[in-house]
Amino acid sequence: MTAQLNPRGDVAVLVPAAGAGVRLGPGAPKALRLLGGEPLLVHAVRRIAAAPSVHTIVVAAPVAEVGAVRELLAPVAPVVVVPGGAERQASVAAALAVVPPGPQIVLVHDAARALTPPELVESVAAAVRAGDDAVIPVLPVVDTIKEVGADEVVLGTVDRSVLRAVQTPQGFRRAVLTAAHAATGDPLTDDAGLVEKQGVPVRCVPGSEYALKVTRPFDLALAEHLLATGH
């Protein structure tokens, strides 16, 4: 299948895919591990490319796999592939650096969230288009959360009503994300964190259970089930 991206679209999607997948266990870099016989990255890019607003996709691949990832994705969608970095933040920065002129909305989306529906890509982009500088999809926290000391003794129970589990795609006005990545500081685990440090408000929108991040073996088993049942 060749997905033709929309030349009139206003959204560039950066796909950090250069992680090792240490928590998944020994094997290929995580984005290249198989889910239903295809790499996680293929599933992720196929769903991004199905979102009508998407103009450009840039993938940050493991350094040793850049050529292989280009070949892998050529039949899936037109993508730009760059070498990733040692940290997720560096991979995102490398992808952001090659976004062509045009799209003024930039989404950052983990390859590891392989089954994310195109509708979530569109809803995050729509929230940025409607006026928010930074938008993140979130889910409520469903477990009781404890703060625990170094000795594994509970220090207290956290008020979960003010907590949210954060997903991707995270969406930004392009200039806001560019400025946040240009600022120096320790690497953070998500791009909204960088934007928060700039004092920019970050809006939460509803996430999706299907945007789960494949992190541990159980997540991969769950994703296999979801894929087999039509997601």
Ligand X SMILES: C[C@](O)(CO)[C@H](O)COP(=O)(O)O
Distance between alpha carbon 36 and the CA centroid of its chain, in Å? 20
Indicate whether 89 belongs to the interface with ligand X (CB under 6 A): no
Contact 59, 41 (CB under 8 A): yes
From residue 118, give the alpha-carbon distance in Å to each of 53, 71, 145, 173, 200: 10, 23, 31, 19, 26
| 187: CB partners within 8 A, 6+ apart | 87, 88, 89, 90
Helix, strand, or coil (residue 157): strand
Indicate whether 190 belongs to the interface with ligand X (CB under 6 A): yes
**In the set 6, 178, 198, 215, which binds ligand CTP (CB under 6 A)?**
215
**In whole angstroms, how close is the CB of 16 to ligand CTP at the nearest point?**
3
Indicate whether 47 belongs to the interface with ligand CTP (CB under 6 A): no
DSSP state for residue 104 in the 8-state scheme: -
Indicate whether 164 belongs to the interface with ligand X (CB under 6 A): no
Residues 89-128 contacting ligand CTP, CB under 6 A = 91, 110-112
| 174: CB partners within 8 A, 6+ apart | 12, 99, 103, 104, 105, 106
**In whole angstroms, how close is the CB of 153 to ligand X at the nearest point?**
26
Look at residue 18 and give the partner it binds from ligand CTP, ligand X, none, a contact being a CB closer than 5 to 8 Å depending on partner kind: ligand CTP
Residues 145-174 contacting ligand CTP, CB under 6 A = none
Sign of the C-alpha dihedral, residues 228, 77, 20, 91?
Answer: negative
**In the set 97, 189, 206, 217, which binds ligand X (CB under 6 A)?**
189
Indicate whether 17 belongs to the interface with ligand CTP (CB under 6 A): yes
Between CA 138 and CA 131 the distance in angstroms is 19
**In whole angstroms, how close is the CB of 113 to ligand CTP at the nearest point?**
7
Indicate whether 109 belongs to the interface with ligand X (CB under 6 A): no
Residues at the interface with ligand CTP (CB under 6 A): 16-23, 30-31, 60, 84-88, 91, 110-112, 213, 215
Residues at the interface with ligand X (CB under 6 A): 88, 110, 166-168, 189-190, 213
